[in-house]
């Protein structure tokens, strides 16, 4: 008989690409995982993994097991959650949530407050993480719900086994130092900021790609990205004290109004961002309750105008 724990290890290795990556994720040693997978191969009667350079990939037999493992583990998860709900007489259990910083503050925290009041038998565990890192953990059942963001012109990978629903759509607005010559405009053409010093998130992020693409397509120039930080509060401070220019989302600006800077809409350009909720297809009653709370928090934020 196949062991569910070993099936989970196999799925983790397949999802992470290497035994070492799976070991780091699960808190095991690589040798311990290798030993368990060797036992699983004996139980299955066929090789399950083959090495490709430094990575591993599933054999045909391994792919069959991983496909069934996803269904089996999802069934166990649903059964455990349903039992907890029956025992409590209401939605119950642990729901693990991840979100990026501004959505954590504006959507997840209000949702947690709502769940604590309406569903005391649900334990919400929340962490701040980028969506690129959260998606694999969601697929591997280490997270239950992820609030992510997708910048216009920078689409994320699509996963058929996940359900994605939009929570809100927002714009990225120019953040300028107080007294900047463009601050008196109702809308600022990006072309007027070709000589400016810019700040954006680190290379490889959706935010940085959005800034570069907007400057190229709407402004016709390559931005002088002198400063890099994934912390939007640091970006605002660089605008205020170093005279930089930034493009920041509404969620950030609504939650962190800052003295010494002004915000203006961009005249045109690919500066939109969608904030979305992603879960696995099967939502337990507890996950559904948390999703409802985050949906309501996002609706409240959409209805609230920028200060």
Count of residues in the chain: 307
pLDDT tens track for 185-227:
888 999 999 999 999 999 988 899 999 999 999 899 999 999 9
Please give the CATH architecture assigned to the domain spanning 4-75. Orthogonal Bundle (1.10)
pLDDT at 304: 55
Radius of gyration of the chain from Cα atoms?
23
93-99 and 145-151 strand pairing: parallel
Using the 8-state DSSP alphabet, how is residue 306 labeled? P
C-alpha–C-alpha distance, residues 154 and 209, integer Å? 7
pLDDT tens track for 1-20:
778 888 888 888 888 888 88
Residue % of the chain over a pLDDT of 70: 95
Q: Where are the domains of the chain?
A: 4-75, 169-272
- Tell me if domain 4-75 and domain 169-272 are identical in fold: no
pLDDT at 153: 81
Residue % of the chain over a pLDDT of 90: 46
Q: How many CA atoms lie within 13 A of 101 on its CB side?
A: 14
Q: Is 96 left (phi over 0), alpha (psi -120 to 50) or beta?
A: beta
Residue range 29-39: average pLDDT? 87
C-alpha–C-alpha distance, residues 180 and 210, integer Å? 22
C-alpha–C-alpha distance, residues 91 and 84, integer Å? 8
pLDDT at 88: 67
pLDDT reading at 265 higher than 70: yes
**For the chain, what is the mean pLDDT?**
87
pLDDT at 119: 95
pLDDT at 203: 93
pLDDT at 65: 85
Q: Compare 125 and 57 and report the one with higher pLDDT.
A: 125
Confidence band, pLDDT 50/70/90 cuts, at residue 257: low
pLDDT at 295: 97
Q: Are 168 and 244 in contact (CB under 8 A)?
A: no
pLDDT tens track for 86-118:
776 788 889 999 999 899 999 999 999 999 999
Report the range of poorest mean pLDDT among 28-32, 81-85, 302-306.
302-306
pLDDT at 259: 78
Give the long-range contacts of residues 74-82, CB within 8 A, separation 24 or more.
74/141, 74/280, 74/282, 76/4, 77/141, 77/282, 77/284, 78/282, 78/284, 81/284, 81/285, 81/286, 81/287, 82/284, 82/285
Q: In CATH, what number does 169-272 get?
A: 3.40.190.290
């Amino acid at each position: 008989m196949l062991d569910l724990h070993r099936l989970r290890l196999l799925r983790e290795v397949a999802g992470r690409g290497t035994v070492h990556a799976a070991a780091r994720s699960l808190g095991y040693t690589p040798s311990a995982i290798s030993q368990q997978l060797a036992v699983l191969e004996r139980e299955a009667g066929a090789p399950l993994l083959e090495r490709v350079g430094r990575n591993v990939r599933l054999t045909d037999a391994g792919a069959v097991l991983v496909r069934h493992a996803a269904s089996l583990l999802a069934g166990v998860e649903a059964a455990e959650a349903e039992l907890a709900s029956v025992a409590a007489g209401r939605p119950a259990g642990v729901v693990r949530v991840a979100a990026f910083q501004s959505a954590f503050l504006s959507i997840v925290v209000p949702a947690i407050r709502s769940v604590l009041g309406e569903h005391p038998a649900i334990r919400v565990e929340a962490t701040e993480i980028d969506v690129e890192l959260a998606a694999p953990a969601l697929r591997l059942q280490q997270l239950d719900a992820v609030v992510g963001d997708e910048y216009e012109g920078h689409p994320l990978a699509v996963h058929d086994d996940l359900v994605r629903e939009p929570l809100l759509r927002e714009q990225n607005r120019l953040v300028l130092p107080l007294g900047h010559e463009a601050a008196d405009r109702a809308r600022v053409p990006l072309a007027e900021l070709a000589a400016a010093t810019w700040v954006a998130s680190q290379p490889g992020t959706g935010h940085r790609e959005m800034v570069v693409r907007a400057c190229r397509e709407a402004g016709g120039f390559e931005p002088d990205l002198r400063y890099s930080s994934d912390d939007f509060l640091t970006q605002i401070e660089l605008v205020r004290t170093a005279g930089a220019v930034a493009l920041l989302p509404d969620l950030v600006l609504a939650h962190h109004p800052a003295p010494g800077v002004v915000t203006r809409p961009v005249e045109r350009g690919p500066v939109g961002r969608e904030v979305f909720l992603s879960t696995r297809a099967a939502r337990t009653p507890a996950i559904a309750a948390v999703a409802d709370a985050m949906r309501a928090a996002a609706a409240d934020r959409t209805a609230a105008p920028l200060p």
